[in-house]
Amino acid sequence: MQHKDKATLFCLLTVTIASAILTRTTQGLADTPAQGLKRQEIRDNIFSSAILSDTEYLIVGDRGKIFRSADRGETWDEMASGTEVPLFSVSFPDSTYGWITGKSGLILHSSDGGKSWTPQKSGTDKHLLSVSFVDPKHGCAAGDWGSIVVTEDGGATWDGVNLEEDIILYGVQLIDTSRGCIIGEFGRIFGTEDGGRTWGSLPSPVEQSLFCLCRDGDLLYAGGLDGVLLYSQDRGVSWSKANRDSEQSIYGIAVKGQTGWAVGDSGTMLNSHDGGASWQAVEIPMLMKLFWIGTASLHSGSNGEISGFGAGAHGVFFTLKGSTLSW
């Protein structure tokens, strides 16, 4: 795969994004945020998601769309983003403070649980494909052409600490205020031990591009091209390949305890019952195979029950409860 192809996922997003932006420009619409939408009424491509509490969900996607639910995804209110550019990633370290990153260095911040959003100056014009905050002060965003920005004051200021390599970085996860991990093109993995100020290359067991990264405590999980799935039990220092039933590209991954879900191209859904060491394909309706799935989120509720949801192309949506999947 050539570097300029920007890997399968980014090409896919670019095509759908370009189409959405062209339609928007042609129509010249000034949308009023919609309220009380049923989940089947959302038709936008969804790239990232977050669970804020037992009942509060949030999704972001193309055309600057942000949708928030207070009833576990049954109904959704559109939140004003102030932009029409694609939004690639969202991170909430708690139920109050959140950040979104997007095209051309866009960063948005919320201090009211995702109900309102204001821009922050990232200092870069590169696409920021992933963002991670470990608390309301310490965060990192990464993206196109080795771009990395970090903050220690909740985004009031962002400092550029870009890699010297022109490599696309698809996922970032901070583990604590010192340690973190980034994954990207060609199976590359990078780690930090100084809060994201410097990043060093780490051994990777694969050469396929890695598109998604998630954290469950000190454990890390990654997925990517050709159905590659990896897990790390030492905060990203070393990685092992997971057994899996599919070779479809993985775009989103979430693990809580022994339960994991990975989603991707052609409606791919994989379930893990052993903390991400192995993954089994889940049968889905034939119609769902027409859509890619871009994100999945899991939450351990106040009653200890694991639940969640996922979404993707044209607003395709599903809910998760333990190992049970509902469309």
Whether the pLDDT of residue 165 is over 60: the answer is yes
Task: Check: CB of residue 228 under 8 Å from CB of residue 213.
Answer: no
The kind and range of the H/E element at 21 are helix 7-27
CB atoms within 10 A of CB 219: 18
Phi/psi for 39 (5° steps) reads -60, -30
Query: What is d(CA 25, CA 288) in angstroms, rounded to the nearest whole number?
Result: 29
Residue 2 is predicted with a pLDDT of: 37
Q: Which residues fall within 8 angstroms of residue 216, CB to CB, at 6 or more apart?
A: 255, 256, 257, 275
Please give the single-letter amino acid code of residue 167: I
CB atoms within 10 A of CB 39: 20
> What value does the mean pLDDT take over residues 188-192?
98
Whether the pLDDT of residue 238 is over 50: the answer is yes
Q: Which fold has domain 3-30+45-326?
A: Methylamine Dehydrogenase; Chain H (2.130.10)
> What value does the mean pLDDT take over residues 168-195?
98
CB atoms within 10 A of CB 179: 19
pLDDT band at 4 (very low <50, low <70, confident <90, very high): very low
Query: What is d(CA 106, CA 158) in angstroms, rounded to the nearest whole number?
Result: 12
Which of the given ranges, 4-18, 27-41, 159-173, has the highest pLDDT on average?
Answer: 159-173
Residue 30 is predicted with a pLDDT of: 40
Whether the pLDDT of residue 121 is over 70: the answer is yes
Residue 31 is predicted with a pLDDT of: 57
Whether the pLDDT of residue 236 is over 70: the answer is yes
Task: Check: CB of residue 291 under 8 Å from CB of residue 319.
Answer: no
Residue 303 is predicted with a pLDDT of: 81
pLDDT per residue as tens digits for the range 174-183: 999 999 999 9
Whether the pLDDT of residue 230 is over 60: the answer is yes
CB atoms within 10 A of CB 135: 13
Residue at token pair 């044209």: 314
If you average pLDDT over every residue of the chain, what do you get?
91
Instruction: Report the chain's C-alpha Rg in angstroms.
Output: 18
Residue 9 is predicted with a pLDDT of: 47
Report the C-alpha dihedral over residues 222, 10, 184, 110, rounded to 10 degrees: -80
* Residue-range domain boundaries for the chain: 3-30+45-326
> What value does the mean pLDDT take over residues 92-118?
98
| DSSP class of 80 | P
Whether the pLDDT of residue 215 is over 80: the answer is yes
pTM: 0.91
Whether the pLDDT of residue 242 is over 90: the answer is yes
> What value does the mean pLDDT take over residues 60-85?
97
pLDDT band at 25 (very low <50, low <70, confident <90, very high): very low
Report the C-alpha dihedral over residues 119, 117, 179, 311, rounded to 10 degrees: -120
The kind and range of the H/E element at 24 are helix 7-27
Query: What is d(CA 313, CA 150) in angstroms, rounded to the nearest whole number?
Result: 30
Task: Check: CB of residue 251 under 8 Å from CB of residue 264.
Answer: yes
Least confident window among 40-49, 243-252, 282-291? 282-291
> What value does the mean pLDDT take over residues 315-326?
86
Residue 19 is predicted with a pLDDT of: 40
Higher pLDDT, 87 or 11: 87
Residue 288 is predicted with a pLDDT of: 86
Whether the pLDDT of residue 13 is over 90: the answer is no
Tokens of 140: 């990192």
Residue 22 is predicted with a pLDDT of: 36
Tokens of 56: 């509060």
User: Dmax over Cα atoms in the chain, in whole Å?
Assistant: 51
CA nearest 161: which of 177, 143, 173, 179? 143
